[in-house]
Amino acid sequence: MRTHQRVTAAALLLLATACGTTEPAATPTTTTAALSEADRTAAPELAQRFVDAANAGDSAAVAATFAEDARFDSVGRIYPSRRDIMDRFLDPEVIDAGGRYEVTGTRWNGDRYRVDYTFTTRGGAREVFHYEFLVRDGLIRDVIGRYN
């Protein structure tokens, strides 16, 4: 191990010990288990159900694609539950705004299913971005949304 790596590792251990733990903190986007074959198969269909429901303005159907404890990171704005995702983000900024997603591409990024979109509001404003969906047990557990 190089000197700067030993110093960094030692500093992290000291910090963890001072905080009462010697285990590194898990981040919400960290995955410990490999994606199951069932979830790998379900992810594209679930992402399509999400976009179809959103484009139809069906808030309940959009919410049904998320786990109750789902997390959504929309360009750094963190929504830590399905209720927050819907109440603070998707309902006001997508459903109520009459927004429409157009899928422009899809691909896997590790265990996440990435979908590229052009999003248009009822008023004609357009944005280009992507969501990376993490699916577990047939539901969306985590989303990272970023502008392209």
Q: Which domain holds residue 4?
A: 1-29
15 and 88 assigned to the same domain = no
Residues 6+ apart with CB under 8 A from 8: none
Q: Considering the entire predicted model, what is its pTM?
A: 0.78
User: Given a cut of 70, is residue 9 above it in pLDDT?
Assistant: no
User: Given a cut of 90, is residue 144 above it in pLDDT?
Assistant: yes
The dihedral region occupied by 124, where left means phi > 0, alpha psi between -120 and 50, and beta the remainder, is left
Instruction: Summarize pLDDT for 117-142 with one digit per residue, the tens.
Output: 999 999 999 999 999 999 999 999 99
120 and 90 assigned to the same domain = yes
Share of the chain above pLDDT 90, in %: 77
> 32 pLDDT band (50/70/90 cuts)?
low
State residue 33's pLDDT score.
79
Buried b (16+ CB within 10 A) or exposed e, 113-144: bbbebebbeeeeeeeebbbbbbbbeebbbbbb
Share of the chain above pLDDT 70, in %: 78
64 and 133 assigned to the same domain = yes
Q: Which two tokens stand for residue 140?
A: 């969306």
Query: The domain that contains 60 carries what CATH number?
Result: 3.10.450.50
69 and 126 assigned to the same domain = yes
143 and 117 assigned to the same domain = yes
37 and 89 assigned to the same domain = yes
